[in-house]
Structure 1
Amino acid sequence: MVERANRPSALASTPALAPQPQVTFSDDNSRVTAVLPTGESVEVLLYGATVISWKSGDGAEKLWLSEAARLDGTKAVRGGIPLVFPVFGTVPNHAQTAKLPQHGFARTSRWEFLGKSSSESAPGSAAADLSVKLDFGLSSANLDPSARELWPFEFGLIYSVLLNRDSLTTSLVVTNDDDKPFDCQVLLHTYLRVKDITAVEITGLADASYVDKVDGAKTKTQSSPLTITGETDRVYSPAGDAAVIVTESGAEIFSVTRDNLGNVVVWNPWADKAAGMADFAPNDGFKNMVCVEPGSVSGWQTLEPGDAFEGAQTITLYS
């Protein structure tokens, strides 16, 4: 063997890349799943761009999803985070939305996956700093013809789902691409999972006025922490943007903050109403959920041609 005078030294080892968030599609391309290296995950159904699962790093589910929920695109999903647009209820005296079904068409439309983005992790950096964002789009161009006939405006929606280690942020941007103004309402219909609804207390709504839809749509004022003891369906209009805190058995479990969404809907069907909904299962599932839903639904957002509206929520977990 011939000795070389200047043999090259061993190549320096390349630092291993730190684990990165993973984004995958189901075999039938009906849903997208994102997982952080620390185990947190979110799953989004393209039908309605509905978040159907959000798990912490230990695998604990944080959203409630009905066992009878339709996930095949035949009906709006019962549970998770359905999107409400362009109308909250049925409004027969509002010309633009009079023909639309309750909660509009966003939750029953097939959305397009626009892409992912994630924070980059350098070798040796903390995986806890990672996040991943999924973007979805719906526009008048790909809206079902039947829905387009009911609401014939040119529009665009961008929905973003941002997963961090201890929080989930969902945001919706609405643009008016038409040559005339239109009115709309927006709501993030979030079903939070709890262990025992009778042990739940909701704070952050003190002194807020609300419409009590269970009591003849009377306007009332919240004078104390909210507990759920029966069917509850309230549209709150808090004066500020304080976080809404969900406490169970004395321990804070969720903090819900709002960005440019002036209302908070709190809903639980309780026993009789739950039993009467075919897609609500099990019948006693009302014991394990409470809806805390940031939105803009007490009036109308009027968008002039070229205008945009953006609203968001961030749900933070307490350790």
Structure 2
Amino acid sequence: MVDRANRPSALSAPSAAAPGPQVDITGSGASSKVTATLPSGESVEILLYGATVISWKSNGGKTENLWLSEKAALDGSKAVRGGIPVVFPVFGPPPKSGHATSSLPQHGFARTSRWEFLGKATSEDALDSSSVKLDFGLYSSNVSPEARKAWPLDFGLVYSVTLAKDSLQTVVNVRNEGESSFEFQMLLHTYLKVKDISKVSINGLLGVEYVDKVLDASTHKQSDPSVTITGEVDRIYASIPQTTTTVLEDGTPRFDVVRDNLQDTVVWNPWKEKAASMADFSPDGAFTEMVCVEVGAVKGWQKLEKGEVFEGGQTIKSLL
């Protein structure tokens, strides 16, 4: 065979583009939700009511990481019991008087407002389909008249939820869009799903002062390396030096909760009696299958002047 010096190279078929994350919007009205699924199977579901994350599955979509009550209201009739509700602009019962939030309901209005889906963003590398970011917005112009009357301040919130193969990042961006300053608190009320609360321990809080709301809001210092739960727990750990709190099951790390620009963490489990008193906490005994590790800025107040922005959030890593 004669070898031609300038013969054409073999033609190769163009490679098909790698499949990217899939994002769907389903439902209508207060029941609308956004679902994102990675090509590898991991998924997240966010209800537009409250921008509440109601499901996060890792391990190829096989492992649910968030606890959601069987009686959670997903129709916009009340705040969702479970998942990750967004608390803003006040945590817990508001001050009785003399503060801008005093007329608000417990935990404010963000978790009971309908948010706007602002769209998705994927990696700058078009071939990288390993994560997807979903943005949601809430503004003073589209909260309810009741919320606007109770807290007549101009603000903008952007909530970013980023799903990766083994982690979920949730970040709140708060902007003061008015002429006067305002104070606020914020919290990500995360309900983590566990197998048996009696075998759960929480590390990363040693030496930290906390307010124990079960013991008349008295102040204590965490003296044990691990927090264990054998009854009702409702503690606010403040000014935590370490950024990572680890939830272990039977001595094996299950979750890392990594705070970003947030100094406080609430640890909560209602235990049997309080769980039984909540109409939307179900099934019976479900308190043994959940623990709340809630990052936030709740000890004192964050203050924003005109045009200023505050941003804080968390990355939860599934360690299975």
TM range (shorter): over 0.9
**1:114 maps to amino acid:** L
What is the Cα deviation at residue 94 of structure 1?
4.0
> Is the aligned partner of 1:108 residue 2:109?
no
> Is the aligned partner of 1:251 residue 2:255?
no
> Is the aligned partner of 1:119 residue 2:120?
no
Alignment partner, residue 309 of structure 1: 310
Alignment partner, residue 60 of structure 1: 63
**2:118 maps to amino acid:** L
Alpha-carbon separation, structure 1, partners of 2:294 and 2:109 = 18
Q: Say which SS state the counterpart of residue 88 (structure 1) adopts.
A: coil
**Contact kept in structure 2, 1:254 and 1:316, CA below 8 Å:** yes
**Contact kept in structure 2, 1:205 and 1:238, CA below 8 Å:** no
* Bigger Cα displacement from structure 2, 113-122 vs 263-272: 113-122
**2:92 maps to amino acid:** G
Structure 1 length-normalised TM: 0.93
Alpha-carbon separation, structure 2, partners of 1:242 and 1:41 = 25
Give the counterpart of 1:80 among 79, 83, 88. Answer: 83
**Contact kept in structure 2, 1:20 and 1:120, CA below 8 Å:** no
Q: Say which SS state the counterpart of residue 274 (structure 1) adopts.
A: helix
Q: Say which SS state the counterpart of residue 283 (structure 1) adopts.
A: coil
What is the Cα deviation at residue 12 of structure 1?
3.7
**1:232 maps to amino acid:** V
Q: Give a deviation string over 1:96-154, Cα, whole Å, max 9, x none.
A: 0111011000000000000001125656x6x5xx1000000000111111110000000
Distance 1:13 1:148, change over 3 A: same
Q: What does 1:1-319 align with in structure 2 at a 5 Å threshold?
A: 12-28=12-28, 30-56=32-58, 57-90=60-93, 91-119=95-123, 130-224=130-224, 225-319=226-320
**Contact kept in structure 2, 1:20 and 1:121, CA below 8 Å:** no
* RMSD after superposition: 1.5
**1:85 maps to amino acid:** F
Alpha-carbon separation, structure 1, partners of 2:176 and 2:126 = 40
Q: Give a deviation string over 1:193-228, Cα, whole Å, max 9, x none.
A: 000000000000000000000000000000111000
Alpha-carbon separation, structure 2, partners of 1:36 and 1:172 = 23
Q: What count of residue pairs does the alignment treat as equivalent?
A: 308
Alpha-carbon separation, structure 2, partners of 1:41 and 1:48 = 19
Alpha-carbon separation, structure 2, partners of 1:178 and 1:35 = 37
Alpha-carbon separation, structure 2, partners of 1:122 and 1:132 = 12
Runs of 4+ in 1 over 3 A off after TM superposition: 8-12, 120-123
Structure 2 length-normalised TM: 0.93
| Identity, % of aligned positions | 59
**1:195 maps to amino acid:** K
**1:14 maps to amino acid:** P
* Bigger Cα displacement from structure 2, 138-147 vs 114-123: 114-123
Question: Structure 1: any 5+ residue segments left out of the alignment?
Answer: 1-7
Alpha-carbon separation, structure 1, partners of 2:126 and 2:275 = 49
